[in-house]
């Protein structure tokens, strides 16, 4: 049975986000209104914690009131759909992981097109997918996990924070590579999955390392490998699947700020200027690295080129595992 997490305890997990550095007020072209950043996952997860920290820094830099609006569900697509249909006056943007965007390739009913219904503001950084295990099963390495699976074949499943995304496909691909098929179990974000991993209700889990790193450090879960070519800056001690001999598991995701498609270019530029400035602040970059994000920014045009290439590669991967789009 899945443990529940109250809103109070979820927000406590994100408490560190409010420790953003004090900075001097800057002249800004952002609207002089309350500004909203949509997040498609519950409070307390890695996406939410990052967004809150960045929002607080933007607030202190600009003097604007910047709030987080959690629209959790459907692997983040609810928030993006709200952005698509929301105001284009510069008052609302969204913080979105690639795990949400890739669902355009995996679900026929995704309520947005990433190229026409929304537009990029700036890349925030790249992120690796993490494969973790419950501390209750007593394994610390991939080799030990494989041996454990051989002795516990009825528990060859893993929780995923977003079905139809790479937090789902990475686990399926890992099972294929180690020769033991792994069955995905859907969760509504990282917080309930971490609770079940900690309690031993599920043996393994898969999601962005930003969702699991702090819980890994506190012993609630054990990350046994990640998806990059080299270890993430935030946790150089955690090996990658490539380092362990599984180069097919090299997949790098990202986080991005999006605006509605009809937001005027000057407002997109204003948001981009503020966000890029905040992300380059040493205190903010340090916090993002601690959370598992390797900070990297971009122009809208640079990111559009990257997203086009990534979606083409990801479609090849999805086709290779035989996944068919669902409704």
Count the Cβ atoms, other than its own, within 10 Å of residue 284: 23
> What pLDDT score does 189 carry?
81
Domains of the chain: 7-126+254-320 (3.40.190.150), 128-249 (3.40.190.10)
Tokens of 277: 């400035």
Please say whether the beta carbons of 94 and 271 come within 8 A: no
What is the value of pTM for the model shown?
0.78
Distances (CA, A) of 146 to 132, 142, 170: 13, 6, 16
Instruction: Walk along the chain (327 residues) and give the pLDDT tens digit of each residue.
Output: 333 334 444 444 444 444 545 444 568 999 999 999 999 998 988 899 999 999 999 999 999 999 999 999 888 999 999 999 999 999 999 999 998 898 888 888 889 999 999 999 999 999 999 999 999 999 999 999 999 999 999 999 999 987 777 888 899 999 999 999 999 999 988 889 999 999 999 999 998 888 898 899 999 999 999 998 899 988 999 999 999 999 999 988 999 999 999 999 999 999 999 999 999 999 999 999 988 899 999 999 999 999 999 999 889 988 887 887 776
Nearest Cα neighbor of 51 from 64, 41, 60 is 41
> What pLDDT score does 27 carry?
81
Residue with tokens 């900075």: 23
- CA separation for the pair 213, 49 (Å, rounded): 12
Residue with tokens 């560190």: 16
Determine the Cα angle at 219 with ends 213 and 223, to 5°: 45
């Amino acid at each position: 049975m899945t443990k529940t997490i109250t809103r109070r305890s979820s927000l406590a997990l994100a408490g560190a986000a409010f420790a953003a550095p004090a900075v001097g007020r800057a002249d800004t072209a952002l609207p002089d209104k309350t500004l909203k950043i949509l997040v498609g996952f519950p409070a307390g997860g890695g996406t939410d914690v990052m967004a809150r920290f960045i929002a607080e820094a933007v607030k202190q830099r600009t003097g604007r009131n910047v709030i987080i609006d959690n629209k959790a569900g459907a692997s983040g697509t609810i928030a993006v759909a709200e952005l698509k249909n929301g105001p284009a006056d510069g008052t609302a943007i969204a913080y979105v992981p690639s795990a949400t965007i890739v669902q355009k390739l995996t679900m026929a009913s995704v309520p947005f097109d990433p190229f026409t219904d929304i537009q990029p503001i700036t890349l925030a950084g790249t992120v690796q997918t993490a494969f973790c295990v419950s501390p209750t099963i007593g394994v610390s390495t991939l080799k030990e996990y494989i041996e454990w699976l051989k002795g516990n074949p009825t528990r060859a499943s893993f929780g995923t924070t977003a079905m139809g995304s790479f937090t789902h496909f990475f686990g399926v691909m890992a099972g294929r590579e180690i020769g033991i098929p792994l069955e995905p179990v859907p969760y509504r974000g990282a917080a309930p999955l971490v609770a079940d991993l900690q309690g031993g209700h599920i043996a393994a889990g898969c999601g962005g390392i930003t969702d699991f790193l702090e819980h890994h450090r506190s012993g609630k879960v054990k990350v046994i490998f990640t998806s990059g070519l080299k270890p993430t800056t935030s946790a150089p001690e955690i090996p990658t699947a490539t380092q362990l001999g599984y180069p097919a598991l090299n997949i790098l995701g990202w986080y991005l700020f999006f605006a509605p498609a009809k937001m005027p270019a000057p407002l997109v530029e204003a948001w981009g200027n503020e966000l890029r400035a905040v992300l380059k602040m040493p205190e903010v970059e340090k916090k993002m690295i601690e959370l598992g994000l390797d900070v990297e920014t971009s122009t809208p045009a640079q990111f559009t080129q990257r997203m086009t290439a990534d979606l083409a590669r990801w479609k090849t991967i999805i086709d290779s595992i035989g996944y068919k789009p669902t409704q």
